[in-house]
Amino acid sequence: MTHKQWTEVDRYITDLLVPPDPVLNATLQASDAVGLPPHNVSPNQGKLLMLLALIHRARTILEIGTLGGYSTIWLARALPTDGRLITLESNPQHAEVARENIARAGLADIVQVRLGPAIDTLSQLATEGQHPFDLIFIDADKPSNPEYFAWALKLSRRGSLIIADNVVRNGAVIEANSVDPNVQGVRRFNELLSAETRVSATAIQTVGSKGYDGFAIAVVTSDN
Ligand code: SAH
Ligand code: DHB
Ligand code: MG
């Protein structure tokens, strides 16, 4: 099995189940045009995020790692009109592109892009009392995943869903002695998930146009 085949099957799935969407296409085009890296989730993954938020009837969503707002738009589309999504981004150019994309998607009223290192903006959110969030999507710098998980728990309630992208990393996640700080961040995150008595969690390997990777998903099972 090759990346080419995974990509072709992703296309097959997307052609059937993820209808062409001018707003999402424009989001990717605008992001690409100014040189943002193509690190957004794939269309069928984006739709999975939207479906999870819908199944969960999420009204408040926190995203860590905005990029051009592609996953943001998918998630925000699951929200009711009085819902809200806060997304955290440290790169000013990414945040600017995301704000334009989110406005084009008609979601500016319910989505707020917060510029700054997530460690700082997470602590601001806690101080402001913006929590709890019904769903938290962790998808920023992987070395910080352990800290982001700790914040996700603080900003949760019983029943909150915590989802993390990129937890398999082409299989490198099993390399205990990896010198890759991304791998070590994800390994530490997975270990925290394992040890944390306040969540019930699993992880799923994925293949597709984004290569071989995976999602972790956790439900907060106790009142914090
Ligand atoms: N969730 C997006 C992809 C995010 S890519 C999607 O699927 O469409 C990761 C993003 O995290 C990048 O835009 C990067 O600039 C941002 N990032 C990296 N380090 C960060 C930090 N310390 N705080 C906040 N954002 C960060
Ligand atoms: C990459 C992919 C991601 O989903 C992400 O969040 C960061 C980087 C990548 O392909 O390098
Ligand atoms: Mg990702």
pLDDT band, very low/low/confident/very high, at 158 (cuts 50, 70, 90)? very high
The response to whether residue 182 sits with its C-beta less than 6 Å from ligand 2 reads no
Please report, for the domain that includes residue 76, its CATH number: 3.40.50.150
For the segment 10-31, the average pLDDT, to the nearest whole number, is 98
Span from the CA of 139 to the centroid of ligand 1 (angstroms): 6
The secondary structure of residue 36, as a DSSP letter, is -
No. of H helices and E strands in the chain?
8, 7
Closest CA to 53 of 104, 111, 108: 111
Chain center to CA of 24: 16
Pocket test for ligand 2, best of 166, 180, 213 (most atoms within 8 A of CB): 166
What is the count of structural domains for the chain? 1
In which domain, by residue range, is 69 found?
3-220
| Residues contacting 107, CB < 8 A, separation 6+ | 72, 73, 76, 77, 85
Residue 107 to residue 24: CA distance in whole angstroms: 12
- 81-130 pLDDT tens trace: 999 999 999 999 999 999 999 999 999 999 999 999 999 999 999 999 99
Q: Does pLDDT of 60 surpass 90?
A: yes
Q: What is the overall mean pLDDT for the chain?
A: 97
Q: Does pLDDT of 224 surpass 80?
A: no
